[in-house]
Structure 1
Amino acid sequence: MDNAELYEKGNNMQKRDALESLQDYADKIKWKQYGARILDIGSGDGTVTTRILKEYTPQNYKIIVGCDVSEKMVQFANDNHGNERTRFILLNIENYPPKELMGSFDHVVSFYTLHWIKNQKSAFMNIFDLMTEDGSCFLIFCGRNPIFDVYRTLSKRSIWRPWLENVDRFISPYHDSEDPEKEITQMLDNIGFRDIYVTCKKKHFVFDSADAIKSAVKAVNPFSIPSELYNDFLEDYLEVVRRMRIMDEANNNQSTVKYEYDLIIVHASK
């Protein structure tokens, strides 16, 4: 997940869900119309921040700040998308943010990032502290997703175990949750959020070929697989996908992969 160029080309599902979520919940977000300060957590290569998010923010915003844990991503985003009203910074939302950022943002958004964080309470407390007194947040992240089951299966194979031994570190905290909506709502309420809205939405995405799914896996794969073994890893990945009956083999020997997953959508105010 450190290769910005690769992520930019392979994150089509993430871009689609960010776009659809912003469209569906535009009225609920209630953007500040003038001088808004916006933080995008997990901005990656910067394309969602600048090509999708900006389409739904008022034109009179003051600044959009994207943050990411990857120095390479931040550098790429600044080089390709930064300007006088858009900048990207290095920040791990799981850690306590710099004092100068506290209480600075009218809106905090995040697309496909928070499921990577194990200490959910710490992350949401930091989001709360980054918001202005009348600020709001809009966040989407993974709940149940078959990709996590594929990772778990591969981690049990001797050839991949050395690189996937910490597999649970990269599985959404809500993948096995029986009631993620209740769990998240209670956490937000305890932190002090108000006007809490949490929903777990059933989604699906179709990759039109095996190559397309390989590109998507490369874009978000969190494991440091040696380059000389990567093709074998991807073939094993597809083999597991076939056994899980996610992949459909067509008559023309092309393959489509239909992922069905749960997307958690959160909106709350301070």
Structure 2
Amino acid sequence: MEKADSFATPTTVQRQFLSAVLDRLWPKLEWQVASSAVLDVGCGSGDVTVLQLLPRLPVDVRVVAADLSDSAIAHAASRFVEPRLLFLKLHIGTRRIQNTAVWRLGPYSKVFSFFSLQWEQRQRRAIKNINKLLCSGGETVLVLMSPTGLFGTYANVAKSAKWSSYLKDYQQFLSPYQLSDKLQDDLNIHLQQAGLSVKTCNEQEIVYVTEKESCAKETLAAMNPFLTCIPRDVRATFQRDCEEAAFKGGAAIARNLSKNRTTYTLTYNALVAHALKA
């Protein structure tokens, strides 16, 4: 269930990783297709759409940036006013994709989604909808955060006696890939079953090391699916409990190098896929 202030803002490490992924994949994308529109699914705050996608796109290509969160769309639209950019609400897992405003502005030559699709419980339907939104010869580039021990740590905090009353339905906030040990195979199958030809589908490790405690906490918070479901007056306490559990369980590591110097290390994986609609 969406909360009024629930939307994603990419962390520094996510932005850096996406920039490297797009730099590597961009020369492989084909722009000689019928549609002059692209779609960004799960745009959140709009930073990645505007700072990563728009500068790379041909000047005659417009962007529809979509998110499930009303607050995300309102926030992004208030920050970024671009003649080639439109923010719209969309649930990519809907049964009625043809009834959406996003559908009416398509089809799209490209559908992108960065660090958001992993939260959609209806993975098969979502990826089928992506295929439907693409024009013939269109391509999709998907980056999904792979579930890690960190998600399990957060789930344990969420179902503890202290916090369970706030998160009785905590399981709906976990990635559908959480219990899978074949993430790459699962995504590959979903893409193929949707009718897409897979060009790339692999898992890549992201290792983030910082000496700034605030940056480590920012990243831990960005990877916490439960945080925005906790009331504001106790949210900071919940996040501290999650941070303590993450460091205690080894999902995050703090190393004291000297009296005044500490490094914080977070390691997780991302699935990167590039697929084509014939």
- Contact 1:43/1:67 (<8 A) preserved: yes
Give the Cα separation in 2 of the matches to 1:66 and 1:227: 28
Q: For 1:20-39, what aligned pairs fall within 5 Å after superposition?
A: 20-32=20-32, 36-39=36-39
**Counterpart residue type for residue 41 of structure 1:** V
- Contact 1:41/1:68 (<8 A) preserved: yes
Moved more, 172-181 or 18-27: 172-181
Give the equivalent residue in structure 2 for 1:66.
Answer: 65
**Counterpart residue type for residue 242 of structure 2:** Y
**What is the RMSD computed on CA atoms of the aligned residues?**
2.5
**Counterpart residue type for residue 132 of structure 1:** C
Give the equivalent residue in structure 2 for 1:94.
Answer: 93
Superimposed CA distance per residue, residues 220-250 of structure 1 (whole angstroms, 9 cap, x where no aligned partner): 5443212232222122112112212222142
* Change beyond 3 A, Cα 1:176–1:229: same
How does the TM-score come out when normalised to structure 2?
0.86
Show structure 1 runs of 5+ residues with no match: none
Give the Cα separation in 1 of the matches to 2:121 and 2:35: 33
Q: CA deviation at 1:70?
A: 1.0
- Contact 1:143/1:173 (<8 A) preserved: no
Moved more, 48-57 or 160-169: 160-169
Give the Cα separation in 2 of the matches to 1:48 and 1:2: 21
Give the Cα separation in 2 of the matches to 1:115 and 1:174: 7
Q: For 1:47-196, what aligned pairs fall within 5 Å after superposition?
A: 47-61=47-61, 63-95=62-94, 96-99=96-99, 101=103, 104-196=107-199
Aligned-residue identity in percent: 24
* Change beyond 3 A, Cα 1:255–1:92: farther
- Contact 2:151/2:224 (<8 A) preserved: no
**Counterpart residue type for residue 53 of structure 1:** L
Give the Cα separation in 1 of the matches to 2:65 and 2:163: 34
Give the Cα separation in 2 of the matches to 1:150 and 1:24: 33
Moved more, 73-82 or 36-45: 73-82
- Contact 1:210/1:257 (<8 A) preserved: yes
* Change beyond 3 A, Cα 1:14–1:151: same
Runs of 4+ in 1 over 6 A off after TM superposition: none
Moved more, 216-225 or 66-75: 216-225
- Contact 1:146/1:260 (<8 A) preserved: no
* Change beyond 3 A, Cα 1:152–1:7: closer
Give the Cα separation in 1 of the matches to 2:172 and 2:210: 26
* Change beyond 3 A, Cα 1:209–1:241: farther
- Contact 1:44/1:74 (<8 A) preserved: yes
* Change beyond 3 A, Cα 1:127–1:262: same
Specify the SS of the correspondent of 2:165: helix
Give the Cα separation in 2 of the matches to 1:218 and 1:38: 30
How does the TM-score come out when normalised to structure 1?
0.88
Moved more, 132-141 or 202-211: 202-211
Give the equivalent residue in structure 1 for 2:254.
Answer: 248
Query: In the alignment, which of 222, 232, 236 is matched to residue 237 of structure 2?
Result: 232
Aligned residues, how many? 267
Q: CA deviation at 1:204?
A: 1.5
- Contact 1:65/1:86 (<8 A) preserved: yes
